[in-house]
Amino acid sequence: MGAYTNDAKRIVEESYRIVERFVKGNTPEDFVLKRCIIATGDPSVKDIIVFKRDPVKAGIKAIRDGKTIIADVSMVKAGIRRGNVVVAVEHSNGAKKLGITRTAMGFYNLRDRISGSVVAIGNAPSAALAVYDLFKKGYKPALIVATPVGFVNASESKEMIRSLEVPSITTIGSRGGSTLCVAIINSIIDLAYERSD
C-alpha cells in the first residue's frame, strides 16, 4: 500500500487485521475487497463489487507482461503506484467537434492501444460506454476495471461492461469512484509483484 516507514507499516498491518472481520478469506479476490474497504473506510463496499471471468488472474498476467494501463482521468493515474499509465482525457482531440465527452473521445483516439491493455475507469460513465462500443468493434482489453460514480449512466454503463465476454471488475449501482478504481488496480499490482498467487 505504499507504506515505507515503520509507523506506516504498522498502520497497514492493523488495517488489514481490522478488515479481516469483514472479509475472512485469503483469495486474490478477497485481497482486492480488503484493499477496497481500507481505501474507502466502508465495509459495505464489498457487497457492490462484481468480479466477472476471473479478472484478478487476467489483471496479474497483464501487469506482469508489462501491458499499458489506460485510465479515464488523471486522478486515477495519480493513484496508481507503478506501470505505464496513459490517461484517456489527455488524448481527447475532436471531442467538441463530435459532441462527446473528452474521456470517451480519449478512448476512441487510443483504440489501437486498447487490445491487451488494462482499462481503468474510475470517474466517467461515458468512458465505460465508449469502451463497451470499442469492444463490440473488436478492441479487446485484457481487463476492464469500471467503477464510475454518479446518477447518469453510471449504473447502466457498468452493467453493459459486465455483459461483455471480457474479465472485468465493476461496482453495482451509482456508487464507485476513482478511489475504488485505484484500490483495485493497486491491489492487482501488489498481487503481481509483491505477493505469490
- What three-state secondary structure class fits 108? helix
* Segments making up each domain of the chain, as ranges: 6-193
What does the block give as the cell for 180? 475504488
Amino acid at 58: A
* 24 pLDDT above the threshold of 70: yes
User: pTM for the full model?
Assistant: 0.92
Question: What is the tens place of the pLDDT at every residue in 38-58?
Answer: 999 999 999 999 999 999 999
- Rounded Cα distance between 56 and 137, Å, is 24
How high does pLDDT run on average in the chain? 94
Task: Write the DSSP string, 50-61.
Answer: EEESSHHHHHHH
Question: What is the tens place of the pLDDT at every residue in 87-145?
Answer: 999 999 999 999 999 999 999 999 999 999 999 999 999 999 999 999 999 999 999 99
* 159 pLDDT above the threshold of 80: yes
pLDDT of 196 reads 44
**197: pLDDT confidence band, cut at 50, 70 and 90?**
very low
The verdict on domain 6-193 having CATH code 3.40.50.10230 is yes
